[in-house]
Amino acid sequence: MNVTDDASLLSGFTQSDLQKIKNNVESYGGTLEEAIQDLANCFRILLWVFLGCIAMFIWMLFSNERDYVISTGTGLSIAMLIAVFVQPPVLSWKSWRFLRMHKF
C-alpha cells in the first residue's frame, strides 16, 4: 500500500490530521501506511464495541426489571464514552474511510 499526501488530502484528511499522524510515526516508529491501518482497525473495534453495547442494552430491555435496565444503560453509556475517548475518533474514522475508498 502506498499512501501519499495527495491521496490522503483528497479522501478527507486535513493537513493538520496528516501532521498529527506523521508526528506519531516519527515519535514511535513505523510508516504512514501502518499508522493509517492501525487507526482504521481502532475504528472497527469501536464499531464492534458500540454494537455489542447496543445489543446488550436491547437484551436487557426484554429480560430484566426497570432498575437493571437503567443501571445497565448508564454503565454501557459510560463504557461507550470511555471507548470513544481512548482513541482519536475523527482520525480513526477518516483512516477507515480512506482504506475503504482505496480498497487497500
For residue 4, is pLDDT > 70?
A: yes
In whole angstroms, give the CA distance from residue 79 to residue 93: 19
Q: What is the pLDDT of residues 23-69, one digit of tens each?
A: 988 989 888 888 889 999 999 999 999 999 999 999 998 887 777 88
- Residue 1 clears pLDDT 70, i.e. is over it: no
When pLDDT is cut at 50, 70 and 90, the band that residue 103 belongs to is confident
Nearest to 18 by CA among 103, 85, 83, 90: 90
Among residues 10, 46, 9, the alpha carbon closest in space to that of 21 is found at 9
Q: Summarize pLDDT for 87-99 with one digit per residue, the tens.
A: 888 899 989 998 8
Nearest CA to 91 among 48, 42, 49? 42
Name the grid cell of 66: 426497570
Q: How confident is the model at residue 13 (pLDDT cuts 50, 70, 90)?
A: confident
Alpha-carbon distance of 16 to 28, in angstroms, equals: 18
- pLDDT reported for residue 104: 53
